[in-house]
Chain A
Amino acid sequence: MKLRDIAVALPSKRIDSALIAKWTGVDAEFITQKIGVKSRAFLSEDETPVNLAKQACDNLFSRNPQLARDKIRLLIVVTQNPDFKLPHSSALLQSALGLEVSTASFDINLGCSGYVYSLTVAKAFMAAEEIVDGLVVTCDPYSRIMSKSDRDTVTVFGDAATASWLSSEAGGEIGRLDFGTDGDRARHLMVKAGGSSYPVTGVWEQKPTTCRPEDFRLRMSGQGIFNFAMERVPRSVLMCLEKNKLSVSDIDYFVFHQGSKFLLENLRKRLNLASEKVPVNLEDVGNTVSSSIPLLLSQMKDQGILGGKRILMSGFGVGLSWASNIIEFGGYG
């Protein structure tokens, strides 16, 4: 199964780091220089994740007239911030895009590792069901779960959607996955309320009273995430190379989840990689969760630098979880 093309959509509302500095009290230079984000886009009040995901898909169809909507049999949406708690966003997107009712549509509930996982899920599903064309869509707008005064999160994240065309016929060949989960550290990236442990409502009325407004917001422990990334990601990169019978020198680009400039720089040093092999695109988009890897790949593809190249991608975050894989672009970069 192959990755044939990627399209993106960004929300219309742009927020620069000067405003973020005003909201949080964090120095704007620190946000731009160390976190690496000058501006990012947030969904406006009247935009929804499915609207944005639809835009990304429409952009994909415009770029690829040969991709027929009625031939798509698989639609995966990677998100933890769907339009509604239920139904799943992929059902709404199937309708919005006018895809056939014979399309398998489901969401994958993962954060920053979600894109890498979902490519393998799509690959297996499409192979098992002999599907020719499928879509993997990412859209996880953290602007909907952050407090504007929370310096740990609002300085880092931005919203985006991406749509990837997977095809059995042509495109970048997807390799073997390295993956894992460190659930002991789950608390480090968490929205506590809204699930069944801390529900908004229910037949028992005691629990809702325990929820505070801040429990519905994203809480992130920087040290926990940093330690996790430094421990797990380099190992996953090496395991992925081993599984695919490759070495570091066989890789043209290491496309990491764009957590922050600081995190990427520390990962690069740990793995002893040249900076030109580790592309970074945070400046105008921020950390876009599961969209960060496909967004970067899309930009690289549009720059014409993926043709004939072999990339290793690695996503890591909520769970805490990680996944790394290889894509051989051949002539499809």
Chain B
Amino acid sequence: MNQQDALKLIEQALAKTLEEAKNPEGRRKEFSLSMETDLVKEEILDSLDSMVFILELAEKSGKSFPEDDLVEQGFFKVGRLVEFLTTR
């Protein structure tokens, strides 16, 4: 998988997660991504939605993500996700 494909997958997984996590008024969180974006620190995903996102990404990519300390390992930074998806 190249970098562009990885980014596309991340965007798709994120869009699906945020669609499911609409707020009570039915509004979806807006986001724009760069390699520097941290999805959790920038509060695009909360701690629960981040789990849905990782599972979604794992299912879409066919890759097994670690299940421990994903925040500590920097897994919610887009650049780290792209690296994981393209090099393993």
Instruction: Mark A residues whose CB is within 8 Å of B.
Output: 30, 33-35, 185, 187-188, 221-224, 226-227, 230, 260, 262, 266, 269
Contact = CB atoms under 8 A, between A and B. Distances in A.
Contacts of B67: 185, 188, 221, 223-224, 227
Contacts of B24: 33
A266 B54 contact: no
B33 interface: no
Interface of B: 20, 24, 46-48, 50-52, 54-55, 58, 65, 67-68, 70
B46 A30 contact: yes
In terms of DSSP, what is the predominant structure of the interface of chain A? helix
Nearest to B68: A221
B26 to A, nearest CB: 15
Given A34-B48, A230-B55, 11 more contacts: A33-B24, A34-B46, A221-B68, A223-B50, A223-B51, A223-B54, A223-B70, A224-B68, A226-B55, A227-B55, A260-B48
B28 to A, nearest CB: 16
Nearest to A260: B48
A262 B47 CA distance: 11
B23 to A, nearest CB: 9
Given A185-B67, A188-B67, A227-B67, A222 B47 contact: yes
B46 A222 contact: no
Nearest to A26: B47
Nearest to B58: A227
Nearest to A230: B55
Nearest to B23: A33
A30 B65 CA distance: 26
Nearest to B71: A223
Contacts of A224: 67-68
A222 B70 CA distance: 10
A230 B67 CA distance: 13
Nearest to B64: A227
A269 B52 CA distance: 12
Contacts of B48: 34-35, 222, 260, 262
A34 B68 CA distance: 22
A57 B75 CA distance: 48
Nearest to A261: B48
Nearest to A266: B52
23 contacts: A34-B46, A35-B48, A185-B67, A187-B68, A188-B67, A221-B67, A221-B68, A222-B47, A222-B48, A223-B51, A223-B65, A223-B68, A223-B70, A224-B68, A226-B51, A226-B52, A226-B55, A227-B51, A227-B54, A260-B48, A262-B48, A266-B52, A269-B20
Nearest to A226: B51
Contacts of A226: 51-52, 55
Contacts of A34: 46, 48
Looking at B20, B48, B54, which has the most chain A CB atoms within 10 Å of its CB?
B48
Nearest to A228: B67
A33 B46 CA distance: 13
A207 to B, nearest CB: 24
Which 10 A-B residue pairs are closest in the complex by CB-CB distance? A224-B67, A226-B51, A262-B48, A223-B67, A223-B51, A34-B48, A221-B68, A227-B55, A222-B51, A223-B70
B36 to A, nearest CB: 23
B12 to A, nearest CB: 17
A35 B55 CA distance: 19
A33 B51 CA distance: 17
A226 B49 CA distance: 11
A35 B48 CA distance: 9
A34 B48 CA distance: 8
